[in-house]
Amino acid sequence: MRISELSELTGVPVATLKYYLREGLLPEGRRRTSNQTDYDDAHVRSVRLVRALLETGGLSIADARRVLATLDEEPAYTFAATQHALGVGRPRTPGTETSARALARVADLAATRGWRVSADNPGLEIAARVLDDFAAIGFEPTDEYLAAYAEGAERVAHADVAALRDRESPEAAAELMIVGTVVGDALAAGLRRLAHQDATAELFPTTPRTSHPAKPASREEPA
Amino acid sequence: MRISELSELTGVPVATLKYYLREGLLPEGRRRTSNQTDYDDAHVRSVRLVRALLETGGLSIADARRVLATLDEEPAYTFAATQHALGVGRPRTPGTETSARALARVADLAATRGWRVSADNPGLEIAARVLDDFAAIGFEPTDEYLAAYAEGAERVAHADVAALRDRESPEAAAELMIVGTVVGDALAAGLRRLAHQDATAELFPTTPRTSHPAKPASREEPA
């Protein structure tokens, strides 16, 4: 197909496709004549993957290129490269370091679960920051609390891996690995919002469940 | 304490504290003389809450004010207000709407779990977008797959609610509700990264588990 058809099929403007090609995010098409290049279904798939990385994942061009480069290598590299490209979250206040105590607690949790993880897995830093944020408001989570989060993570990770096994080709599995890493957090977060509302209905049974109060804010000052 | 002490205790510069006061994010201190105002432990706690909303949660001043305003109301409002302030994620490509099909599937999932959720819970949109992203690469998750994510969400939501019950005061519970909503997704995401590495070790048993390949990207073009 021509680039105009590739654009129609993917909903991505031709100019953007050409930009992806220049940046090396899409493989070149097959040149048929000096002014005609052919694209195929593999390109359609590639465009969708690039969109997932750039838009949904918010990755930079360089990071997206690094992740895509791993598709020719071992699958575990693709996972690791995607995790690293996604990073560890928003920049912190200058001078605020993740505490060694929080990092040790997350490492202990992983060890207790028997997880085989490398020391540079970004998840250690991501989770440790949360423990520091909790500590700042005087919340020290119990072992049971962290075990519940760890069990939830295991549950979804196993579902993810089962889904990878079911894909029709190694390429399709690699795609899902990337997209699942990039957007899967949001699936967990969205369902957590719903589960919170339900669990809160139990905690505060008298509260009307209908809707969110849209009234304007007016924070009262103490007398 | 004076504002300088409040600054030292919280690590937030005096100028930033004054900005928070002007914006109504912090309650005024108690004026003792014309040029001396007293702050107390409640202010220390407020400052940490504001930091959690603005920095960790990335909320705007207006959204943070709206969330803080709910602290004087019913606890379920605080949950809902925080969920709404956090929003539904990155802006999408213009013209890309979340599909009715994906929204219906998430609503079905919630109904199957027996979750009591309102139609404006942002989790519906957040999760539905992920299903659309999956569909774009031809991945149609099975019911078992979604059930695994839903069970994980229930597990962590119940742990969150149990932690709320254990807090020493309604104020402390409200704080945890806000901070837990803002940063709890990251705890789940961090542990998911770790669980993925472990689950991948099972999937690809021959892959070295040590580290992430830091080599520069060089995407090969097809011949």
Q: What digits encode the pLDDT tens for the residues A165-218?
A: 899 888 888 889 888 988 899 999 999 999 999 998 877 665 444 444 444 444
Q: Degrees (nearest 5) of the Cα angle A128, A129, A132? A: 90
Predicted pLDDT of residue A205: 60
Write out pLDDT tens, residues B11-65: 899 999 999 999 999 999 998 888 889 999 889 888 988 988 887 777 889 889 9
Are the beta carbons of B89 and A186 separated by less than 8 Å? yes
Show residues of chain B in contact with A73, CB under 8 Å.
Answer: 213
SS (H, E, C) A1-32: CCHHHHHHHHCCCHHHHHHHHHCCCCCCCEEE
What percent of chain B clears pLDDT 90, i.e. is strictly above it?
50
> How far A61 CA sits from the closest chain B CA (Å)?
11
Evaluate the CA torsion angle B39, B43, B45, B48 in order and state its sign. negative
- Identify the CA nearest to A103 among candidates A82, A86, A117, A84: A117
Region A11-30: mean pLDDT is 93
- The proportion of chain A whose per-residue pLDDT surpasses 70, expressed as a percent, equals 88
- ipTM for this prediction: 0.83
pLDDT on residue B45: 84
pLDDT, position B15: 95
**Interchain CB distance below 8 Å, A74 and B120:** no
Query: B187 is written with which tokens?
Result: 């705890």
| Confidence at residue B191, expressed as pLDDT on a 0 to 100 scale | 97
pLDDT band at B206 (very low <50, low <70, confident <90, very high): low
What confidence score (pLDDT) does residue A170 get?
82
Query: Considering only A79-88, B141-150, B200-209, which range has the smallest mean pLDDT?
Result: B200-209
HSE of A63, CA atoms in CB hemisphere, 13 A = 19
Of B79, B180, B191, the CB nearest to A150: B191
Identify the three-state secondary structure at position B37: strand
Q: Distances in Å between the alpha carbon of A32 and those of A2, A3, A23, A119, B153?
A: 11, 13, 22, 49, 52
Pick the more confident residue, B136 or B211: B136
CA–CA separation, A20 and A47 (whole Å) = 8
State how far the Cα of B157 lies from the Cα of B159, in Å rounded to an integer.
5
Cα(A1)–Cα(B167) distance, rounded to whole angstroms? 62
Task: Report the predicted TM-score, pTM, of the whole model to 2 decimal places.
Answer: 0.83
pLDDT at B10 over 50: yes
CB B182 within 8 A of CB A146: no
- Of the candidates A16, A115, A24, the residue with the CA atom closest to the CA atom of residue A67: A24
Which pLDDT score is estimated for A3?
94
- pLDDT, residue A223, reads 38
Say how far apart CA B67 and CA B82 lie, in whole Å. 6
Give the model confidence (pLDDT) of B89-106 as tens digits: 766 666 678 999 999 999
Dihedrals φ, ψ of B132, to 5°? Answer: -65, -40
Residues 6+ apart with CB under 8 A from B145: A159, A162, A163
Higher pLDDT, A165 or B146: B146
Q: Which residue has 């992740």 as its token pair? A: A67
Task: List the one residue out of A60, A58, A47 whose CA is nearest residue A7.
Answer: A47
Q: What pLDDT does A206 receive?
A: 53
pLDDT at A143 over 90: yes
Long-range contacts of B76-79 (CB under 8 A, 24+ apart): B76/A200, B76/A201, B76/A204, B76/A207, B76/A209, B77/A207, B77/A212, B77/A213, B78/B174, B78/B177, B78/B178, B79/A196, B79/A197, B79/A200, B79/B177, B79/B181
What distance in Å separates the CA atoms of residue B124 and residue B117, rounded to the nearest whole number? 9
Distance between A88 CA and the closest CA of chain B, angstroms: 8
What is the C-alpha separation between A33 and A104, in angstroms, rounded?
61
Q: Residue A151: how many CB atoms within 10 A of its CB?
A: 17
Contact yes or no for B181/A111 (Cβ under 8 A)? no
Instruction: Report CB contact under 8 Å: B133, A80.
Output: no
Residues in chain A with CB shorter than 8 Å from the CB of B163 are 139, 141-142, 145
Determine whether the interchain pair B123/A199 forms a contact, defined as Cβ–Cβ distance below 8 Å. Answer: no
pLDDT band, very low/low/confident/very high, at B175 (cuts 50, 70, 90): confident
Identify whether the C-beta of residue A149 lies closer than 8 Å to the C-beta of residue B190. Answer: no
Residues A19, A11: Cα–Cα separation, whole Å: 15
Which of A26-35, A41-50, A183-192, B100-109 has maximum average pLDDT? B100-109
- Report the mean per-residue pLDDT for chain A: 85
Cα gap A185→A152, rounded to integer Å? 12
